[in-house]
Structure 1
Amino acid sequence: MALVYGSVQSSVVAEGLCFYPDASMVSKIFTVLAMVAGLVGYLYGPYWKVRRVPGPPTIPLVGHLPMMTKYGPGVFSVLAKQYGPIFRFHMGRQPLIIVADAELCKEVGIKKFKDIPNRSIPTPIAASPLHQKGLFFTRDSRWSTMRNTILSVYQPSHLANLVPSMQNCIESATENLHSSKQDVVFSNLSLKLATDVIGQAAFGVNFGLTTPQSINQSDEVSDFIDQHIYSTTQLKMDLSGSLSIILGLLVPILQEPFRQILKRIPGTMDWKIERTNKKLSGRLDEIVSNRMKDENRGSKDFLSLILSARESQNVATNVFTPDYISAITYEHLLAGSATTSFTLSSIVYLVSGHPEVEKKLVEEIDGFGPHNQVPTAYDLQHKFPYLDQASSDASFPCIFCKL
């Protein structure tokens, strides 16, 4: 005997209870299951590719971001001690492979660099189109062409020619230190020094950040530096960035739609970043345009070398378009100034805690020769072994116990 309720939504059979859902209910169930499977696949797809790399357990959506709140920048040292020199760290959904060993960094960054052409774009970079056209985030054949073209910039002979420019900046930065009556914030000093050196090397432009106070810096240069610093400091890979960056960390698919909306709303952080990057792009395009018109620009700085290669038709002009030239030149300033400044500050900080190391360093430097003797590139490479060891090990404080 069967009892039928309504249409054909269910049937009860005397021999046993049987339930037959209709087609619409089956469709809804499979739709929900598909959505759940899609969400799980979207969130854990990147993790699955690197699941064999050691690392702490991840939290859905936020990954390992809470660990940054707990430990701050020291989180990577903590994880390196626990998981070894290579480990996973998840910025929200996006996994990063951290290499916490100096020799392995050289292996990855130099010897294996060409084997990693298409890098994933970090969330903060995705919120800033200005930074996406540099060497690190271009892709496929354009990346290969860019890389092969700029290799000459990193030849020892070219880098050796930059030593006099570095020396001039160092002398300007330290000229009045002995007579200063105020405390010197070394991290600020090192950032200005690195920015001046790289400004000369990348753009052939003297920003004048390390010149004595009596020499006034032009408003144009000052405005450019202010914009550069603001744009750089907003590249935050944590939950203190703009709303679009936070969404990018948690649900990347929502980042670009929200960025397009928020950048049009005055007062939002996305709006401020967009305005700053437009000003920076305009200033960079102006520098590139003026250098293109300069027939006597020479080939001492990075920008001039790129333009000369482009004009000699050694590379395709559709690869090094003006916007890409601006971006790759700015990338040198962006990538070099902050990292160099941090390294210098770290060395001073770590050495200050080890008087015996400081004494050996000073003895080696003073033993080189008179104070007015300027070292050459060869001297820096071969006559300061202890200084080279100390600077190489600056990221690993425990090494100072062995120096």
Structure 2
Amino acid sequence: MELFLSRIDFGGVFGILLAMVVSCLLFLHFSSRKKFRTLPPGPTPLPFIGNMHQVDIKELINSLKELSKTYGPMYTFHLGSRPCVVLSGYQVLKEALIDKAEEFSGRGDFPAVQMWSKGNGIVYGTGERWRQLRRFAISTFKNFGMGKRSIEERIKEEAQFLVAEFHKTEGKPFDPTFFLSCAGSNIICTLVFGDRFEYTDKKFLMLLDLINSNWKLMSSTWGQMLFSFPEIMKYVPGPHRQIYKNYLKLARFVGERLEMNRQTLDVNNPRDFIDCFLIKIQQEKNNLDTHFNEDTMLKTTVNLFFAGTETVSSTLRYGLRILMRHPEVEEKLHEEIDRVIRVNRSPCMEDRSRMPYTDAVIHEIQRYADIVPMAVPHTVTRDVEFRGYTLPKDLNIIPLICTSQFDPTHFKNPTSFDPTHFLDESGRFKKNDAFMAFSAGKRVCLGESLAVMELFIFLTTILQNFKLKPLMKPEDIDITPESTGLGSIPRPYQFCLIAR
């Protein structure tokens, strides 16, 4: 009898505790909703899961685009318990990221990386730390030739290394992924580490594999789940947990390079970005409020290494596949290259102004491939009135950059690959304000000028030397992405390069 009563007492106490917990959670949920009552309307969220029941987690970005058809270019969406405002279409993206650049320049939640970076580093930092790091990086890279002829010569040299590796395939089928990653990565390595790596270097290839793996994982369904439910997913076993481990491996390599530089540093003759950062740390060692320290240097270097490797190589890999799907475009590129550059010298940036079709094709590859479809989330840096709503400080903003790249009011045929999107009636190159491949505003990619050089010189050098030969009929080549998350991942493929 006593045992029976104790069970009743225990059950009663447990029930009361459970009711209290649920009540507290519901109170916090509805209090949170009250706090954000000034936000634009959106789909009605459920407690704890937010609006995730209303989207396809495998196609989160496409689902967000679809919701904009119902709720307009600016609406509230709950990623689990986190309210976010989604921006869709060129006009609202321009008003936010460009017209109110300062207010929308904060860095939003991106759990896949922030579990490792803890908000440190140039890409995922915010506030004064980010401002100082960005100014320092831009100034340092300019001193080492970014955007100038000196780095152009380095890119031209790397393009020849790439072509030499391609010649070794002797026209046989191969996967270009790691060749293109090596080429793109070696340019940022020159700036950051002061040297390039051989394409056969096993450690280098391992690092590229880590970067390629993380890029895919962050864009996978598991990556989307981590993005939506970080507090739950960090305890759930699955491939998404490899992202953190891969970052630790990348950090170990960068740490080794930092130590090599530290041991051989000459403050009067800095060789690369790391040397300059080490010197900056020494200069500010007595400044208690400095943002220049060992941890920031490590995480900023990993940020630069990752971003400088994957985006250019993925764009080139996607671009070559698109050209095989459109052989008529490749043929016109060959004609322009042969007419302007010919075969006796390497392509250079001066050629670009005389090659409007090539310039248009590269822009259209970037637009259509849409390698970073939503950019990294932003936050509002202070309370701001925007389009009739009050957006509170630290609110997460999801800028769907892809909706500007595919905006039908700025591109006549947005869902098709069409180089004439960037050509006028006379065949001259024309800019398009809705082109946001490098994002926009304060958070625009700091390596934009470098990436532009790489894409032009690498692609023209490849096509100057080779014809692309697909392993299937052009009309059977699928140029939709394999997956879309942080990035649009091009489908894996093999092809042949036939020497011209």
How far 1:325 sits from its partner (Å)? Answer: 0.7
1:279 to 228, 236, 249: 249
Pick closer, same or farther for the CA change 1:118–1:170 going to 2, 3 Å: same
Task: Give the equivalent residue in structure 2 for 1:37.
Answer: 27
In the alignment, what sits opposite 1:339?
A: 311
Q: CA deviation at 1:133?
A: 1.9
Structure 2 residue 189 is matched with structure 1 residue 199:
yes
Q: Would you say 1:249 and 2:228 are equivalent positions?
A: yes
The percent of aligned pairs where both chains have the same amino acid is 19
Which of 126, 146, 154 is matched with 2:133 structurally? 146
Superposed CA RMSD in Å reads 4.4
TM superposition shift of 1:149: 1.7
**After the TM superposition, which residues 28-107 of structure 1 pair with which residues of structure 2 at under 5 Å, given as runs?**
33-41=23-31, 50-52=39-41, 61=49, 63-64=51-52, 67-69=55-57, 71=59, 91-94=79-82
Q: Return the alpha-carbon distance in structure 2 between the equivalents of residues 274 and 154 of structure 1.
A: 28
Contact 1:117 1:143 survives alignment (8 Å): no
Q: Higher mean Cα deviation, 66-75 or 135-144? A: 66-75
2:453 matched residue in structure 1:
none
**Counterpart selection for 1:135 from 103, 122, 131:** 122
Task: Give the C-alpha shift of residue 152 in structure 1.
Answer: 1.6
CA contact (8 A) 1:117 1:144 kept: no
Q: 1:184 to 1:46 in 2, by over 3 A?
A: farther
Matched, 1:221 2:192: no
Flag the 1:34–1:155 CA change in 2: closer, same or farther, 3 A. same
Aligned AA (1:391): I
Equivalent residue letter for 2:322: L
5+ residue gaps, structure 1, are 1-24, 263-267
Cα distance in 2 for residues equivalent to 1:98 and 1:227: 31
Cα separation, partners in 2 of 1:354 and 1:83, compared to 1, 3 Å: farther
Partner of 1:386: 357
Alpha-carbon offset, residue 324 of structure 1: 1.0
- Judged with a 3 Å threshold, the aligned counterparts in structure 2 of structure 1 residues 361 and 165 are, in CA distance, closer, same or farther, namely same
Q: C-alpha distance in 1, partners of 2:298/2:75?
A: 34
1:172 to partner: Cα distance = 1.6
Helix, strand or coil at the partner of 2:291: coil
Whole-Å Cα distance in 2 between the matches of residues 149 and 27 of structure 1? 54
CA deviation after TM superposition for structure 1 residue 331, in Å: 0.5
Q: Deviations over 1:304-337 (max 9, x none)?
A: 3433444455995841212211111110122232
Verify the 8 A CA contact 2:77 2:86 in the aligned structure 1.
Answer: yes
Deviation at 1:386, TM superposition (A): 2.6
Corresponding residue number in structure 2 for 1:174: 163
Q: Alpha-carbon deviation of 1:249?
A: 2.6
**Count of residue correspondences:** 354
Identify which range, 328-337 or 61-70, moves more after superposition: 61-70
> Is the CA contact 2:226–2:240 (under 8 Å) kept in the aligned structure 1?
no
- Greater relative contact order (Cα 8 A, min sep 6): structure 1 or 2? 2
Kindly state the Cα deviation for residue 254 of structure 1 after the two structures are TM-superposed.
Answer: 4.7
Residue 400 of structure 1: how far off its partner (Å)? 0.5
Pair 1:27–1:122, CA change in 2 (3 A): closer
Consecutive unaligned residues in structure 2, runs of 5 or more: 1-14, 369-405, 407-414, 422-500
Equivalent residue number for residue 13 of structure 1? none
Q: Which residue of 2 is the match for residue 5 of structure 1?
A: none
Please tell me the residue identity of whatever aligns with 2:251.
Answer: S
Q: Whose helix fraction is larger, Structure 1's or Structure 2's?
A: 1
Give a deviation string over 1:338-360, Cα, whole Å, max 9, x none.
Answer: 22223223333334444443333
For residues 113 and 156 of structure 2, what CA distance do their matches in structure 1 show? 33
2:141, 2:191 within 8 Å by CA — same for their partners in 1? no
Check the 8 A contact 2:323/2:330 in 1, yes or no.
Answer: yes
**2:218 is matched with which residue: 235, 242, 253?**
235
Tell me the residue number matched to 1:11: none
| Equivalent-residue separation in structure 1 for 2:249 and 2:131 (angstroms) | 29
* TM-score normalised over the length of structure 2: 0.56
Give the Cα separation in 1 of the matches to 2:91 and 2:160: 32
Largest Rg, 1 or 2: 1
| Cα separation, partners in 2 of 1:125 and 1:295, compared to 1, 3 Å | closer
Provide the C-alpha distance between the structure 2 equivalents of 1:137 and 1:402, rounded to a whole number of angstroms: 36
1:366 to 318, 321, 338: 338
